[in-house]
Every structure is written in structure tokens, then in C-alpha cells.
Amino acid sequence: MKPLPSQLAPVSDSASVSDSTYSHPETKNGGRDMKIIATGLLVLMAVIYFTSKSFEAVHPALGFVRAFAEAAMVGGLADWFAVTALFRHPMGLPIPHTAIIPRNKDRIGDTLANFLKNNFLVTRIVAERMHGVDLAGGVGRFLKSPSGGEGRLRMGASRLIGDIIGSLDQDRLGSMFKNAVKDQAKKLDLATPLGQILEVVMAENRHGPLIDSTVKWAYRTLDANEHVIRTIVHDRANMILRWTGLDERLANEVVDGLYKLLADMASDPEHPVRIKTEEAMKHLAQELQSDSELRQRVDEWKLEMLENPAIANWIDGIWENGRESLLKASRDPEAAMAGHFGEALMQLGSSLQQDPLLNRQLNRFARRAVAGVVASYGDNIVTLVSETIRGWDAQTITDRVESAVGRDLQYIRVNGTLVGGLVGVMLHTLGYWI
């Protein structure tokens, strides 16, 4: 199976964050190029400074150039120190108040988590945001036109779902599913619905085919086991009956009588045995709903069935077939949307768009569900963010922050160099006026 993408996988330790596929921050957002430009500009200012200072006596105007380059070097070096101090110790020296981000990564994580909690994971804010979200309308448009503009989204979502299903622990998840099914089955009141079903069947006079099938089954069983009856009669007959051959005649009478009884029951709907059977079925329907002893026996029978290996294999089959169906549908959403199932989904999509009441109810349910998740699990989400950042090693968080803002930080160095140079020219000019 295709593994879960690493950016969605749970972070267990720092090693899992610092994967080998993560590129160096200098290669992100053009940061490396800007770093070369900023450093090159600083070197250029140094060359200009020493050159202009050497020839300043030849022409006084070079003093302005020297002042610009001198101040530009100071500004560039100051900004280089400030930018570097955010992420590491400049030149490796343990200067106080440097390497700010690595030293404060835990506090940054806590601050980010609290910011998320106080500004996003607030039930009132989430509920207000959800008021403007027409989830039912979006779902309706998606289901009604599965091959429309949402096709790429559907394919991406389907692949993501397939990857997630495929990456989950099959044995563990299957065990959870089977245990859940068994737990629900143990809580199920089987006697009451059985009694109600039997009562409805009797009331609508649909029990006739059931009795006919039972009679036919009894007839076939008798025909297949006729020799057993004859053996029983022969074994229980005394010596005189055997000597006179009456045991054989008695066995024939018993077998013929059973055949005749079953034939009469099959041909006569008003046969006394059938009527007695119907009365017994009505009585059973009532007892299944009211007799505590019978209900207890049905419950015990249900528990015994759940422990039967055949039932366990059947539940295994349900899980495996369901999992394979989900994987197949997620890998091929077009096939999943085909046939009667796809038509039913399209009809549901039309209903969501055309039925204002259904649309309103679904949106209300979505708002309550999302708000409920935030209320119940908001603190867990905040804790997850904080603990995840705490689990990162200092180099990882430094690289990730620098990757995000590295290009802009190098622009700060360039701007500091140029602004410093302009300030130097202004001060040099003021020196002539004062």
C-alpha cells in the first residue's frame, strides 16, 4: 500500500520532523541568491570605502563616496548581525541574546498554540464563521455534477482518502471494527423485533409459505431417513414381533402414517396440525415480547452465536469486503459514482439544492458538529501544536522559520546597507554646513 504522506503523518519525535527530504532553507524562496547579493553588496561597499579613502586627498568629492560606503558597511554589518542573531550565534560566538529562535522554540510553540486557541478555536467564532458557509449547497453541487469543476478536487480527495485507508493498521483497525460490531450486537434486543416480525407476518397471513416450506423440508428429511425409523422400530420390538415379522409391518405403518400426515398438511390449509402450528406461532410471537424467561434464552442464544467461529468469520468478511470496497471507490471515484449508487447520489445532490428545509437542516447540523468538535477537542488540538513544536529539535525549527522568511531577511540586509549609506552621506554633508 502507498504510505501516508510524511507531512500528514503524526510526529512522534524530532527525527521524524527532520527528514532527509527537507531541503536547506537557503534553497527556499530564493534565499540563497539574496544572501549572495546582500553579502556581495557589503563586500562592494568595503572595496569602495578603502578605494575612496585612498584617493580622497586627490578629489574632495570622494569624501561623499567614502562616507556613503563607510555608513553602508556599518548598516549592513548591523543588519547582518541582527538577522543572524535570530537563528544562530554570529560567527559561532555565544553572545548574549543571540540564537533567539532556537533558545525560545518552546515558548514560541506555546505562544502559537495559545494564539490558535484564543483567535480560532473559539466556539463562538467558529459558529459565526460557519453561518456563512453553505456546506449543503456545496455538497449538493458536487454530487449533482461529479464530473464538473470539482473533478480535480474529487480526484485529489479520493487519492488522499485511499492513502489514509491504505496506511492504517489493517489488523488493529479490523479488530476495533469487529469488537464494535460485537459490542453493539450484545446490546441488541433480539427477542422483541423477532416477536414483532412474527406478529406482523401472522397478521398479514404471510406465514403460509413458511409452513409449506417446513412441511416440504420434513417430507424430504423423512424420505432421506426412513431407514432410521425402521431400525428404531426393529430394535425396540420384542422377540415375538420380530419372529412373526410384525416389527416390519409396524415400521411400515409408522412411515406411511408420517407420509400421509405431511401430504395432508401440504394439501389442506385447514389441517388441524397446521392450525395448531399457527396458534403456536402466535403464542410464540407474544412470548418473545413479554416472557422474560424466553427473552433470556434468546439473549443467551444470541451470545452463543456471537462466539461461534462461523459468525466471527462472517464479521471478518464484512470488514474485509468493506475495506476493499472503500479502497476501490477511492482509487476510482468515477466507477464509484456509476450505476444506481451514483444516480442516488446525484438525486441527493439535487434535493440538497432544491429543498430549502433539507439544506437548512444539513447546514445547521454541520455548524453544530464543527462547534462541538472545537468545544470538545480544541484543547487537544492546542496541546498537539505545542507538543509537536516542543518535539522538534532546535535546528529543524530554525531551518523552517528561516525557509519561510529567509528571502525577506536578506532584503533587510540590502536595505540596511543602502539606508546606512544614505545616512552617512547626509551626516557628511551636514559636517560641511556646521
Q: Which pLDDT band, with edges at 50, 70 and 90, does 14 fall under?
A: very low
Residue 342 shares a structural domain with residue 283: no
The answer to whether residue 326 sits within a structural domain is no
Residue 343 shares a structural domain with residue 205: no
- Structural domain tally of the chain? 2
The answer to whether residue 228 sits within a structural domain is yes
To the nearest 10°, the Cα dihedral for 85, 91, 94, 99? Answer: 20
| DSSP letter (8 states) at residue 4 | P
The answer to whether residue 240 sits within a structural domain is yes
Give the per-residue pLDDT at 47: 92
* pLDDT, tens digit, 9 for 90 and up, residues 291-302: 888 888 888 888
Q: Which pLDDT band, with edges at 50, 70 and 90, does 22 fall under?
A: very low
* Range of the structural domain that residue 275 is part of: 188-290
Residue 32 shares a structural domain with residue 139: yes
Residue 142 shares a structural domain with residue 193: no
The answer to whether residue 322 sits within a structural domain is no
Share of the chain above pLDDT 90, in %: 2
Asked whether the predicted pLDDT for residue 18 surpasses 50, the reply is: no
Residue 51 shares a structural domain with residue 134: yes
Give the per-residue pLDDT at 44: 92
The answer to whether residue 315 sits within a structural domain is no
Higher pLDDT, 243 or 60: 60
Residue 16 shares a structural domain with residue 137: yes
Residue 275 shares a structural domain with residue 363: no
Residue 19 shares a structural domain with residue 88: yes
The mean pLDDT of 168-193, rounded to a whole number, is 72
Residue that terminates a domain, selected from 250, 271, 290: 290
Residue that terminates a domain, selected from 290, 314, 330: 290
Can you say whether the dihedral through the CA atoms of 350, 352, 355, 358 is positive or negative? positive
Amino acid 325 reads S
Residue 217 shares a structural domain with residue 77: no
Q: Which pLDDT band, with edges at 50, 70 and 90, does 415 fall under?
A: confident
Distance CA 337, CA 147 (A): 10
Residue 272 shares a structural domain with residue 371: no
Asked whether the predicted pLDDT for residue 54 surpasses 70, the reply is: yes
The answer to whether residue 153 sits within a structural domain is no
The answer to whether residue 73 sits within a structural domain is yes
The answer to whether residue 166 sits within a structural domain is no
Residue that terminates a domain, selected from 257, 290, 323: 290
The mean pLDDT of 147-159, rounded to a whole number, is 53
Higher pLDDT, 102 or 243: 102
Residue 120 shares a structural domain with residue 213: no
Q: Which pLDDT band, with edges at 50, 70 and 90, does 23 fall under?
A: very low
Name the least confident of 80-94, 151-165, 260-274, 287-301.
151-165
Specify the pTM: 0.37
Which long-range contacts (C-beta less than 8 Å, at least 24 apart) are formed by 161-170? 161/326, 161/330, 162/2, 162/327, 162/330, 162/331, 163/2, 163/3, 163/4, 163/5, 164/4, 164/8, 165/323, 165/326, 165/327, 165/330, 166/1, 166/2, 166/327, 167/1, 167/2, 167/3, 167/4, 170/323
